Amino acid sequence: MALPSFTTGRLRLRPRTLADTEPCFAMDREPDVVRYIDGPWEDPAAHRAFIEDRTRGPYPEGLGYWTILRREDEAFLGWVLLIPLDAKGPETEIGWRLRPAVWGLGYATEAATPLLRHGLVTLGLGEIIAETDAENRASRRVAEKLGLVLTSTRRTTTRRWALYRITRSAAP
């Protein structure tokens, strides 16, 4: 089963492909985009390989990454994901990353809403989580607007994480 595409009032979401590597790489290099996310951001070759590995998967049927495009001009705005947590699982996570030029305009919430519905209703997942750096207030607000509920926090050597959850019974 190929990943579905979604259309919202302002956005078009299509499955991410390797052709999206350069826009994703450029977005990650914009100031503050990966401030709250650990990854191989300082090594360009490793960074590109990370993007490509995440694009290819493999993921369980119906899960993956979607590219977010503005409907009016097809501009690349970022991506949303619905994949096993950290690409390993067992939990399924929802996540988002957008270009700073469109932060604060509601695009992350708008893009993630059909993915939540897809995961909880179409795929029948019992639960979806979102894990974000506890200091990332904007990302935490997106999770809350989507109806996810803060259930715990944990500390690693580099960060304090906030874990949000939503169950099928609370599907949007």
Compute the half-sphere exposure of residue 28: CA atoms within 13 Å on the CB side of its CA. Answer: 21
Provide the domain limits for residue 164.
6-170
Question: How many domains does the chain contain in total?
Answer: 1
- Say which CATH number the domain at 134 has: 3.40.630.30
- To the question of pTM greater than 0.85 for the whole model, the response is yes
What one-letter code names the amino acid at 39?
Answer: G
Is 23 a domain residue? yes
> One digit per residue, pLDDT tens: the chain, 172 residues?
689 999 999 999 999 999 999 999 999 999 899 999 888 999 999 999 999 999 999 999 999 999 999 999 999 999 999 999 888 889 999 999 999 999 999 999 999 999 999 999 999 999 999 999 999 999 999 999 999 999 999 998 888 999 999 998 887 7
Within the chain, strands assigned E span 6-7, 11-15, 64-70, 76-84, 92-98, 127-133, 149-155, 160-167
